[in-house]
Protein backbone atom coordinates (compact mmCIF):
# COMPACT_ATOMS: atom_id res chain seq x y z
CA UNK A 1 0.00 0.00 0.00
CA UNK A 2 1.20 3.51 -0.86
CA UNK A 3 1.94 5.57 2.25
CA UNK A 4 2.86 9.26 2.07
CA UNK A 5 4.07 11.34 5.02
CA UNK A 6 5.17 14.95 5.49
CA UNK A 7 6.49 16.43 8.73
CA UNK A 8 6.97 19.99 9.93
CA UNK A 9 9.55 20.39 12.69
CA UNK A 10 9.66 23.67 14.57
CA UNK A 11 11.33 25.13 17.60
CA UNK A 12 8.68 23.98 20.10
CA UNK A 13 7.06 21.00 18.43
CA UNK A 14 6.44 18.92 15.33
CA UNK A 15 3.43 17.99 13.22
CA UNK A 16 3.11 14.98 10.98
CA UNK A 17 0.68 14.63 8.08
CA UNK A 18 -0.19 11.26 6.57
CA UNK A 19 -1.99 10.23 3.41
CA UNK A 20 -2.76 6.52 3.13
CA UNK A 21 -3.23 4.83 -0.22
CA UNK A 22 -1.98 7.71 -2.40
CA UNK A 23 1.08 9.77 -3.24
CA UNK A 24 0.75 13.51 -2.67
CA UNK A 25 -0.07 15.30 -5.92
CA UNK A 26 -1.41 18.70 -7.03
CA UNK A 27 -4.92 17.96 -5.66
CA UNK A 28 -5.66 19.18 -2.13
CA UNK A 29 -6.24 16.02 -0.08
CA UNK A 30 -7.37 15.71 3.55
CA UNK A 31 -4.58 14.24 5.67
CA UNK A 32 -4.36 12.62 9.10
CA UNK A 33 -2.50 15.03 11.35
CA UNK A 34 -0.84 14.60 14.73
CA UNK A 35 2.11 15.95 16.57
CA UNK A 36 4.07 16.70 19.70
CA UNK A 37 4.93 19.91 21.45
CA UNK A 38 4.31 21.70 24.69
CA UNK A 39 3.36 18.39 26.30
CA UNK A 40 1.82 15.10 25.27
CA UNK A 41 1.41 13.81 21.69
CA UNK A 42 -1.90 14.73 20.04
CA UNK A 43 -4.10 13.89 17.06
CA UNK A 44 -6.12 16.51 15.22
CA UNK A 45 -9.88 15.86 15.11
CA UNK A 46 -11.32 14.78 11.75
CA UNK A 47 -13.29 18.01 11.32
CA UNK A 48 -10.11 20.10 11.70
CA UNK A 49 -7.65 18.17 9.51
CA UNK A 50 -5.32 19.90 7.10
CA UNK A 51 -5.38 19.56 3.31
CA UNK A 52 -2.11 19.23 1.38
CA UNK A 53 -1.24 19.49 -2.32
CA UNK A 54 2.29 18.84 -3.65
CA UNK A 55 2.84 20.82 -6.82
CA UNK A 56 6.32 19.59 -7.78
CA UNK A 57 8.89 16.91 -7.02
CA UNK A 58 12.57 16.93 -7.93
CA UNK A 59 13.45 14.34 -9.14
CA UNK A 60 10.10 13.49 -10.72
CA UNK A 61 7.81 11.39 -8.51
CA UNK A 62 7.88 8.44 -10.93
CA UNK A 63 11.65 8.10 -10.55
CA UNK A 64 11.81 8.23 -6.71
CA UNK A 65 12.65 4.88 -5.13
CA UNK A 66 14.44 3.42 -2.10
CA UNK A 67 17.86 4.39 -3.46
CA UNK A 68 16.99 8.04 -4.20
CA UNK A 69 19.54 10.15 -2.30
CA UNK A 70 17.48 13.35 -1.98
CA UNK A 71 14.10 14.82 -2.88
CA UNK A 72 12.87 18.42 -2.99
CA UNK A 73 9.13 19.12 -2.98
CA UNK A 74 7.01 22.24 -3.29
CA UNK A 75 3.40 22.44 -2.26
CA UNK A 76 0.61 24.10 -0.38
CA UNK A 77 -1.28 23.40 2.83
CA UNK A 78 -4.71 24.56 4.00
CA UNK A 79 -5.53 24.67 7.72
CA UNK A 80 -1.91 24.61 8.85
CA UNK A 81 -2.84 24.94 12.54
CA UNK A 82 -6.24 23.11 12.57
CA UNK A 83 -8.12 26.38 13.06
CA UNK A 84 -11.81 26.56 12.04
CA UNK A 85 -11.23 29.21 9.34
CA UNK A 86 -8.01 27.66 8.12
CA UNK A 87 -9.33 26.30 4.84
CA UNK A 88 -9.49 29.89 3.59
CA UNK A 89 -5.74 30.31 4.23
CA UNK A 90 -3.24 28.60 1.92
CA UNK A 91 0.42 28.45 2.94
CA UNK A 92 3.14 27.53 0.44
CA UNK A 93 6.00 25.27 1.51
CA UNK A 94 9.32 23.97 0.24
CA UNK A 95 10.56 20.72 1.75
CA UNK A 96 13.56 18.48 1.39
CA UNK A 97 14.62 14.95 2.25
CA UNK A 98 18.19 13.71 2.30
CA UNK A 99 18.84 10.02 2.80
CA UNK A 100 21.25 9.15 5.58
CA UNK A 101 24.45 8.05 3.85
CA UNK A 102 24.90 5.34 6.51
CA UNK A 103 21.80 3.45 5.37
pLDDT, position 44? 83
The secondary structure of the chain in percent helix, strand, coil, rounded to multiples of 5, reads: 10, 50, 40
pLDDT, position 73? 95
- From first to last of its 103 residues, the chain has per-residue pLDDT tens of 677 899 888 888 888 999 989 999 999 999 998 887 767 778 888 888 899 999 999 999 899 988 999 999 999 999 887 777 778 889 999 999 998 877 6
> Which of 24, 23, 73 has the alpha carbon at shortest distance from 52?
24
Between CA 99 and CA 66 the distance in angstroms is: 9
Q: Establish whether the linkage from the previous residue to 59 is cis, with ω within 30° of 0.
A: yes
What residues does each domain of the chain span? 3-98
Contact 57, 33 (CB under 8 A): no
0.85 cut: is pTM over it? no
Amino acid sequence: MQVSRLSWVGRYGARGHGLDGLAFDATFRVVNTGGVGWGDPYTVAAAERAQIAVTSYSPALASINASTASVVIRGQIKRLFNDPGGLACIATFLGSYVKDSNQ
